[in-house]
Chains A and B, each alone.
Chain A
């Protein structure tokens, strides 16, 4: 049953992302990317990462993709639908991608066995659950990277304002 759902979500992810990469219309690509993120949150739930699944829907589908859609509405994208969509280096890009997937295939095939699945250290409805376990690790062991991430967000916010401002008063 778990395997069936995994293959269903994987087919959704791969199909939607292939469509996303090949669309000429940017709005269609953005909506297909939202669909991909929803399927990915399904994969996260299968892997027992409930908090990440919720964050995926809230932050990616709800936050980042809305930012993309607003920016698309600020630019005029109607022109680029009629233009040539692919780069001149497309042949080399496809060749490089095929080489990359072949490499990964070889490594995964020869990787041997991984240590056995130990089972979740958290369970749905149990205490401590996934959110609690995540929070207790995030705010103790990874407190410093957490603070650095907040500085990064501040820098990105200031950078976005400075870059998108029409003129900078001196």
Chain B
């Protein structure tokens, strides 16, 4: 029997993998993909709660999260495409014009 703790643990592990990817990698595209991974791990948690209580609200919010992820991917990739015009490699530690 799969319990709620299984879903929560899986969501937490995938979230931490995504967070480590965001913090460690230099490539901006892989950072965006890691953010997608983190959003999806939250979906796993919501679906686990939805199953536990037999309530649809978790799945409704998972759909909203997918919407936000699509918007984020579109805008983020547009920023990366416009950033790629004046530099060759998309490394986040080289984009430091506004850094203190």
By a beta-carbon cutoff of 8 Å, the part of chain A in contact with chain B is: 2-3, 6, 10, 13-14, 17-18, 20-21, 23, 26, 29-30, 33, 36-37, 40, 43-44, 46-49, 51-52, 55-56, 59-60, 63-64, 67-68, 71-72, 74-77, 79-80, 83-90, 92-94, 96-97, 100-101, 104, 108, 111, 114-115, 117-121, 133-134, 137-138, 142, 145, 149, 152-153, 155-157, 159-161, 163-164, 166
Task: Evaluate whether A80 and B40 lie within 8 angstroms (CB atoms) in the complex, with A59-B70, A88-B93, A160-B74 already known.
Answer: no
Q: Is the interface of B mostly helix, strand, loop or mixed?
A: helix
Complex Cα gap A88–B93 (Å)? 9
Q: With a CB–CB cut-off of 8 A, which chain A residues contact B56?
A: 121, 133-134, 137
Contact in complex: B10, A21 (CB < 8 Å): no
Contact in complex: B71, A155 (CB < 8 Å): yes
Interface size on B, residues (CB 8 A): 73
Contact in complex: A152, B33 (CB < 8 Å): no
Q: With a CB–CB cut-off of 8 A, which chain A residues contact B3?
A: 114, 117
